[in-house]
Structure 1
Amino acid sequence: MDTIRIYCNNLKRYEEFPHGVSLQQVAQHFRDELGFRPLNAQVNHLTRDLNFRLYEPSDIIFASYEDESGMRTYVRTLSFILSKAVADVLPGSKLFIEHSLSKGYYCQIKNAHVVTPVEIERVKVRMQEIIAADIPFCPRCERTEEVATMFRERGYEDKADLLETTGMPYSRYFELEGYPDYYYGSLAPSTGYIDLFGLEPYLEGALLRVPRRDKPDELAPLIPQPMMRKVFADHDRLLDLLQVTHVGSLNKAIDRNEVASMIQVSEAMQEKQIAAIADDIAERYKQGVRVVLISGPSSSGKTTFCKRLQTQLLTNYIRPYGLSLDDYFLNREDSPRDESGDYDYESLYALDLSLFNRDLNEMIAGNEVKLPTYDFTTGKRVYKGNSIHLREGDILVIEGIHGLNPELIPNVPESSTYKVYVSALTAIGLDAHNRIPSTDNRLIRRMVRDYRYRNHTGLQTLRRWPSVRRGEEKWVFPYQENAHVMFNSAMLYELAVMRAYAEPILQSVPRNEPEYAEAHRLLRFLSSFRMIPARLLPNNSLMREFLGGSTFQY
């Protein structure tokens, strides 16, 4: 029998396997040594499902749900099981898997009546039955027009629209006991791969809960996020009003040349929200607020939000002074390091906290303060003659990822601060069962910005991103609900604009690098969007922070 040589990167060794062996068979062979049950694998730096067969020598990296890729496969598989259970228990209902919320996934089941807790429990029991039966997912590939017709006949207009507008002659979908669904990434081979989940009534719908990444035998803790839920709900209302709740409907609106009005409404909505925040600050200014703190994860648009907020504060007869926490970075050689030995710029302690608080106290006291500027090229803090002198009627606007951390300004009274959390909370989905992670949105923003303005390649950005994400989980997300207000910087059309900028950067990632798998995934994801030319965006758009052409100076 012909054999092929496989290198298992997890175990750092070669082994011979029969020609045509499946990844599932290889995983079973190595299972005891791996110490986990893989959910997918990278084969020569491309992510494959475990049904994939090997016909040539290959390097393999198996992924568990402790890995980002493995968790995506776990969630997709669980989503399919939920979709099938809803169809079985509540025929005629429509499931919407909407947002990452409260350490789970917020879902709505829409029917002629409000779905009750008893019905949600029945769906959960049916999911448990499906998992216990260990039913295989059967891949299908047919002409796109036939697949779209099949989904449309079942009432899934969102899936039909998406497939019809991707431009592919053939489309791949899956069946579970004859029930079809579409997912744009890999699934586990069968339902029995789901070890742990939760489904419970939550707000107006249900919360689908998944294992903790660091403790896979426990569910991630349910952390209430009422402010984030309200932001998502407001954005959902706008999408419903514009009738672009999913990417397929967005693509069809682009085809109908309805983009200009869509951009105008979206930009006007953001400006209205920023103006409302400025009005609130103006009212609180009367009660003693003198410092506005703006926080948010990487590439959330904090800088442009800060500038637009300052404009709105001026219309309230308050003179703002902007300050970036980045300018208080320690010199590079003095920065803390992470567990890999790399500089940890996401750490609060990458800032010179003593200098920052000393300067802040002087500013609040009304004294003139010379301001540092951090040179990202040299990794040094320098002084270029900039200074600040707050007077009566002035307010300080501070922007940075640690803005909501109580340790940042321990000696400033809470009553004198106003806190804003900014993030790109993507509300539009690929379809009703394929949500778009906000992290993907921000990663694409960061990649474009870093390439255009920081001389970083796509490979460098992708390589750095896991460290950025770990820093956000530790230093940013725990404090987001401390804000007085949350601002959503995501635009419903933005990925259609970003596609033209991001694709060449992603295509430049070398095929022989592990990060190629992520680049390939993002390219496939972006291919779902029709393109919108950036020239249609106004020059004060938040998107200009990443694309260029802004009236603001950065």
Structure 2
Amino acid sequence: MYIMVRIYCKNTNSFKDFPEGISLLEIYKGFDLQMPYGTVSAKVNNKVESLDFRVYYNKDVEFLDITSASGMRTYVRSLCFILVKAVEELYPEGSISLEHPVSKGYYCNLHLDRSIGLDDVKRIKQKMQEIIDEDIPFQRTESHTDDIVRLFRQHGMLDKAKLLETSGQLYSYYYRLGDTVDYYYGSLVPSTGYIQLFDIVKYYDGLLLRIPNRENPNKLEEVVKQEKMLEVFQEYQRWNRILGISTVGDFNIACNKGLATDLINVSEALQEKKIAQIADEITSRNQNGERVKLVLISGPSSSGKTTFSKRLSIQLMTNGIRPYPISLDDYFVNREETPLGIDGKHDFESFYALDLPFFEEQLKELLEGKEVELPRFNFVTGKREWSGKKLRIDDHMVLILEGIHALNPALTPNIPAESKYKIYVSALTTILLDNHNYIPTTDNRLLRRIIRDYKYRNYSAEETIARWPSVRAGEDKWIFPYQEYADTMFNSALLFELAVMKEYAEPILRKVPNNCPEYSEAHRLLKFLSYFTSLQDKELPPTSLLREFLGGSSFRY
């Protein structure tokens, strides 16, 4: 007599009984779901699990495909493991590291004793396809952490050994694909045959792993040229190497040795040096007899644009330049004229929520040396008012304009290029969990926003997580397409910041109830943060970019 469990399938809004111990994949087949792109993982009581997860109690289950963020992460992790196995089989003395997302794919560094060529890329792609065609199962094994650490050390995977031995966990797990062992901090698909679409191409001195488009998984993401972003990632990785730290395991060991203060001080100093270099370039730029009169600063949510602009202003003042901030928010159209989004609500992130002709007219007059009265937008009445402040630019002044649309060419189409200096700011995380597990840059920004929203806006973590997809959609539309137009990019991420944010984020994330959809993301972030050794923020200077989110800043916001 079988003991039965009752499963509620959110995809079909129906219940069905199954034998105890059944796998999610068998449950998927039992509900006869016809998902167009199949399934790659599932949420079980709002917690993401692999399809080989076995069920012993009544559960709510929602099956995911790669059109969801969680499903795509499962697909990409599995694809990365296939790439690792292909490289291991082709180059036994070589290795590969998956370093960061760029150009709508993932930049990988193939470590050989020579430069890589197109023939290497062809061989790797062919081997990956062979592994996929064999439909090899991904096998997950749980064991004592000490045993797994020894296993990774035997395979020369010191990055994974360091990560796990500093995690403080009694038990851990690892994955096996044929004879290849590896570690991934999330679910994988059941077998290699689940990977339907991929490509790998030569990309500068490395490789670019291409993945399907989330909205249309039948086609690959277009390769978007992002030379400047790649340069920023590589610059910060050089800094990490100077510090002797490239992975979280390295970082944890350094902190356990009492080196945390040095890491904080050097990271802050490197960032300040970069800001000073940008200020020097603005000051010295003089094209066709024209100096820079307008600094445009853009970047996605929680990238630290505000603190960056304040620190840049200080560096400009040390160069004899008086910065004057202008807020794009004061140039909103009156609320009744604000365009509507597809949900029928006012879309305040739309480029056309700005009174573009009025803004351009005022900016043109300012740059011509004329005096103008600046507007002020009243967010209570939804109307523009006059501030009474009058401004005229002199030879020692530069306008600082910060906003999500600052790099959009349509914002300042008639302002001479030589009068503008464009800066893109983002938190581009450069430390790796290990050589095969990068840290998504969006996770860095989401954690910053969760902490700030909770501390200053009285929003819960579930409210911030629920809003995040719409925030990201606005960034995809209005910010990311223009990032490569920048004269320079500034990385606001700090090597140590996730270890510091851990102390703030964990108690907030633990308040997310299990019965809400946002629990799965909160659980994922908590698991991710668990790999970091905690650091107190008492060593952070009051001018740190991180203070914008944690509090204790010497700047006024």
User: Do the structures match in fold with TM over 0.5?
Assistant: yes
Q: Does 1:502 align with 2:502?
A: no
Equivalent positions of 1:505-544 (< 5 A) are: 505-544=508-547
Please name the residue that 1:87 is paired with. Answer: 88
Question: Number of residues paired by the alignment?
Answer: 553
Which residue identity is paired with 2:300?
P
- Report the Cα distance in structure 1 between the residues aligned to 2:210 and 2:526, rounded to whole angstroms: 28
- Report the Cα distance in structure 2 between the residues aligned to 1:537 and 1:381, rounded to whole angstroms: 39
Equivalent positions of 1:143-162 (< 5 A) are: 143-162=144-163
Which residue identity is paired with 1:166?
S
Please name the residue that 2:459 is paired with. Answer: 456
Q: Does 1:305 align with 2:308?
A: yes
Q: Does 1:479 align with 2:482?
A: yes
- Report the Cα distance in structure 2 between the residues aligned to 1:9 and 1:342, rounded to whole angstroms: 28
- Map Cα deviations across residues 197-223 of structure 1 (whole Å, 9 max, x no partner): 111221111111111112211111112
- Report the Cα distance in structure 2 between the residues aligned to 1:334 and 1:24, rounded to whole angstroms: 51
* C-alpha contact 1:329 1:351 (8 A) present in aligned 2: yes
**Shift of the alpha carbon at 1:163?**
0.2
Gaps of 5+ in 1: none
Q: Does 1:370 align with 2:374?
A: yes
Structure 1 46/115 Cα, relative in aligned 2: closer, same or farther at 3 Å? same
Gaps of 5+ in 2: none
Structure 1 341/57 Cα, relative in aligned 2: closer, same or farther at 3 Å? farther
Please name the residue that 1:227 is paired with. Answer: 228
Equivalent positions of 1:210-221 (< 5 A) are: 210-221=211-222
Please name the residue that 1:24 is paired with. Answer: 25
* C-alpha contact 2:373 2:387 (8 A) present in aligned 1: no
Please name the residue that 2:270 is paired with. Answer: 269
Equivalent positions of 1:39-188 (< 5 A) are: 39-188=40-189
Which residue identity is paired with 1:90?
Y
Structure 1 515/335 Cα, relative in aligned 2: closer, same or farther at 3 Å? farther
Structure 1 386/48 Cα, relative in aligned 2: closer, same or farther at 3 Å? farther
Secondary structure at the aligned position of 1:34 is classed as coil
* C-alpha contact 1:371 1:388 (8 A) present in aligned 2: no
Greater mean alpha carbon deviation, residues 113-122 or residues 529-538: 113-122
Secondary structure at the aligned position of 1:97 is classed as strand
* C-alpha contact 1:31 1:37 (8 A) present in aligned 2: no
Match for 2:412 among 391, 409, 413? 409
Secondary structure at the aligned position of 2:98 is classed as strand
**Shift of the alpha carbon at 1:313?**
1.1
Structure 1 381/176 Cα, relative in aligned 2: closer, same or farther at 3 Å? farther
Match for 2:325 among 322, 325, 349? 322
**Shift of the alpha carbon at 1:31?**
5.5
- Report the Cα distance in structure 1 between the residues aligned to 2:10 and 2:388, rounded to whole angstroms: 53
* C-alpha contact 1:329 1:374 (8 A) present in aligned 2: no
Structure 1 398/547 Cα, relative in aligned 2: closer, same or farther at 3 Å? same
**Shift of the alpha carbon at 1:342?**
4.7
Alpha-carbon RMSD:
1.9
Secondary structure at the aligned position of 2:76 is classed as helix
Q: Does 1:392 align with 2:392?
A: no
The TM-score normalised by the length of structure 2 is 0.95
Secondary structure at the aligned position of 2:502 is classed as helix
Please name the residue that 2:197 is paired with. Answer: 196
- Report the Cα distance in structure 1 between the residues aligned to 2:412 and 2:70, rounded to whole angstroms: 37
* C-alpha contact 1:11 1:34 (8 A) present in aligned 2: no
Structure 1 248/337 Cα, relative in aligned 2: closer, same or farther at 3 Å? farther
State the identity as a percent.
50
**Shift of the alpha carbon at 1:331?**
5.7
The TM-score normalised by the length of structure 1 is 0.95
Greater mean alpha carbon deviation, residues 312-321 or residues 112-121: 112-121
- Report the Cα distance in structure 1 between the residues aligned to 2:345 and 2:132, rounded to whole angstroms: 42
* C-alpha contact 1:232 1:425 (8 A) present in aligned 2: yes
